[in-house]
Amino acid sequence: MRYFLDFSYRGTDFHGSQTQPNAITVQQTLEQALATIMRSSIPLTFAGRTDAGVHARQMVTHFDWTEQLPANLVHRLNSLLPDSIAVRSIQPVTNEAHARFDAIARTYRYYITSAKQPFATLIRTRVAPGLDFEAMNQAAQLLLGRQDFASFCRLHTDVKTTICTVTEAYWTVENDTDAYFTITADRFLRNMVRAVVGTLFEVGRHQLTLSQFAEVIQAQNRTAAGHSADAKGLFLEQITYPETIFINNKKS
């Protein structure tokens, strides 16, 4: 049977989500904990990848297991895993369900602060005060719809297409010092959100006009966009799936 494992992690402690040589990653850590309990190597397929330092309030991975799952598996995994990873649920799905390809939407948020906050340094990016959020929200509206986001894609990746459909993109001002950017799409390119945020910063500092931001999108060239924003402010917030792939809606 196939299972979806729903979990969250603090990316500060890892060199990205997916396994890579000579580096501690989320996938490696989670697979080791599963192997210890299940007494078998169990490969995990993630819904996507996050770069070093990026966090996930929700990440989903799937795995196959032919026998009955051990009792209290979620609790046992959390007992083995470091504080930076927390498993929330394990849910049976149809045998064809795929954590990556069946996701119909993903939502990211990017958190910033203009204040010196010792306890927020791991999860918010500090920026200079005075950003023009009204202009940034006007620019963010230009991201909506189905279009080519090559200007915000890391160079030399092996993706077949750089076309994505963005359904929401906006800034929320929390108080005098804190704010966050929300963006939802059917798919995201490598480094896309951080490149978008970095370019929106330029709009907020009045270094780019709205028409120039539109030209950045139309250029379909990474060199046209701004620098990527720091990883630590970025969270994968939510992944949405069709209800039809879940079995009995039961969680372990």
Q: pLDDT for 152-171, tens place per residue?
A: 998 766 778 999 999 999 99
Lowest mean pLDDT segment, chosen from 10-24, 123-137, 173-187, 217-231: 10-24
Token pair of 93, please? 């799905």
Classify residue 126: in a domain, yes or no.
yes
Q: For Cα atoms 211, 171, 208, give the angle at the middle one, nearest 5 degrees.
A: 25
Token pair of 117, please? 């906050």
Q: What is the CATH number of the domain that holds 47?
A: 3.30.70.580
Among the candidates 78, 101, 124, a domain finishes at: 101
Same domain, 109 and 56: no
| Number of domains forming the structure of the chain | 2
Tens of pLDDT, residues 19-64: 777 788 999 999 999 999 999 999 999 999 888 899 999 999 999 9
Same domain, 226 and 114: yes
Same domain, 56 and 117: no
Helix/strand/coil (H/E/C) assignment for every residue in the chain? CEEEEEEEECHHHCCCCCCCCCCCCHHHHHHHHHHHHHCCCCCCEECCCCCCCCEEEEEEEEEECCCCCCCCHHHHHHHHCCCCEEEEEEEEECCCCCCCCCCCEEEEEEEEECCCCCCCCCCCEECCCCCCHHHHHHHHHHHCEEEECHHHCCCCCCCCCCEEEEEEEEEEECCCCEEEEEEEECCCCCCHHHHHHHHHHHHHCCCCCHHHHHHHHHHCCHHHCCCCCCHHHEEEEEEECCHHHECCCCCC
Same domain, 31 and 148: no
Compute the distance between CA of residue 50 and CA of residue 60 in angstroms, rounded to an integer: 12
Show the domain range for 56: 2-101
Catalytic residue among 6, 13, 51, 158: 51
pTM of the model: 0.93
Same domain, 141 and 209: yes
| Average pLDDT of the chain, as a whole number | 93
Q: What is the CATH number of the domain that holds 139?
A: 3.30.70.660
pLDDT of residue 237: 97
Question: Is 51 designated active site?
Answer: yes
Classify residue 248: in a domain, yes or no.
no
Look-up of token digits 């009045």: 206
Among the candidates 85, 101, 117, a domain finishes at: 101
Same domain, 69 and 165: no
